[in-house]
Structure 1
Amino acid sequence: MRLTSFTDYTLRSLIYLGMHRDKLVTIQDIADLHGISKNHLTKVIHQLGVSGMVETVRGRNGGLRLRMEPADISIGAVVRQSESDFHIAECFDHNNQGCALHKGCALKAKLGKAAEAFLRVLDEVTLEEMLPRPHSKMGEAILEQPIAFHPLPEAAA
């Protein structure tokens, strides 16, 4: 199973916002840190605003901040909101029944259970648990100065 780049950028944005609760953050800050497209990230932030997780402050000194406490943000809920579907195989698409085995195949049921288990695990995780601890090497590096992430290839969503 692979999450879309949209979901990846959503999670990265929430983690960054969770680490910088004391100030407003710009979309450009997040885009620069991760080396990702500001235009693509704008769509991500818009969805986070619509969901109520992120507050956008307009104006010259505007920016973004978490609207919810990190402990109240379920990673499972975030993934469900940002993924368009969980069709992990062709047989999950009701419009495409190209497999000759689809009527008697048990694989679909097992893959469905696996996807449910994946989401159940993520339901038990909050954004707060995903935040680097201030004294960890990653936490110190991000809080003190931006670190360079290699951009992910743009995945077809």
Structure 2
Amino acid sequence: MITKEIRYALRSLVYMAIVDGRPVTLEEVSKAENISKNFLRKIFHCLKHNGFVTSIRGKYGGYVLSRPPSEIYVYEIIACHNEGVLVDCPNEDCVNYSHCHIKDFWNALNESFIKLLKRITIADIVDKTYTFPEITLTDKLATNNSQDSQLNIHNSIKE
């Protein structure tokens, strides 16, 4: 799931990419992005632990991106916070799992979303060069003991 922590982590990384390599303090990011400094402390601890940012000590210190924005993928940020699960259903612990009629849909949706987010970088967000492919999906999905169901989504939204 894309939590508030993930959204704030992405906002922070985008802000850091915009300032183009200059060290930023938690206070600066807090003011610029209107995020609690205490919450940012937790987020930056995670970002540093997972290798997305590096801290620099000293009077002009702060945090910098550990890699170029073009090499930091959105999915990486999500995965380090929630093990890559975007749609928390189906869950094998669910009492309905064995006879659930839509678990294959949720799995397919989750996989498609992950594929998309693995292509988008922080630089893409800054430069607004990300694209979302039009959804045209025709796929046979196996459901409960090899029963086939047809999933068709074709241009359901017309402008």
* Partner in structure 2 of residue 21 of structure 1: 20
Contact 2:89 2:103 in 1 (8 A): no
RMSD: 2.0
Whose Rg is larger? 2
CA 1:114–1:68: 2 relative to 1, 3 Å: same
Q: How does 1:133-152 map to 2 (within 5 A)?
A: none
Q: How does 1:1-157 map to 2 (within 5 A)?
A: 3-83=2-82, 86=85, 88-89=87-88, 91-92=90-91, 94=93, 97=94, 99=95, 101-132=96-127
Structure (1/2) with the larger strand percentage: 2
CA 1:108–1:53: 2 relative to 1, 3 Å: same
Distance in 2 (alpha carbons) for counterparts of 1:129 and 1:87: 21
Contact 1:26 1:64 in 2 (8 A): yes
Contact 2:75 2:114 in 1 (8 A): yes
Distance in 1 (alpha carbons) for counterparts of 2:115 and 2:76: 10
Distance in 2 (alpha carbons) for counterparts of 1:11 and 1:44: 10
CA apart distance, 1:34: 2.0
CA apart distance, 1:116: 1.2
CA apart distance, 1:110: 1.2
Q: Point out where structure 2 has 5 or more consecutive residues left out of the alignment.
A: 129-159
TM-score w.r.t. length of structure 1: 0.73
Distance in 2 (alpha carbons) for counterparts of 1:90 and 1:113: 11
CA 1:87–1:21: 2 relative to 1, 3 Å: closer
CA 1:83–1:23: 2 relative to 1, 3 Å: same
CA apart distance, 1:39: 0.7
CA apart distance, 1:53: 1.4
CA 1:22–1:124: 2 relative to 1, 3 Å: closer
Distance in 2 (alpha carbons) for counterparts of 1:23 and 1:34: 16
Distance in 2 (alpha carbons) for counterparts of 1:92 and 1:85: 14
Secondary structure class of the residue paired with 1:61 = coil
Q: After superposition, what is the alpha-carbon deviation per residue over 1:45-97, rounded to whole angstroms, capped at 9, x for unaligned?
A: 11111111111112332101111011111111121112356273564162xx3
Q: Point out where structure 1 has 5 or more consecutive residues left out of the alignment.
A: 134-157
CA 1:57–1:42: 2 relative to 1, 3 Å: same
Distance in 2 (alpha carbons) for counterparts of 1:125 and 1:113: 19
Runs of 4+ that moved beyond 6 A: none
Percent identical residues: 25
TM-score w.r.t. length of structure 2: 0.72
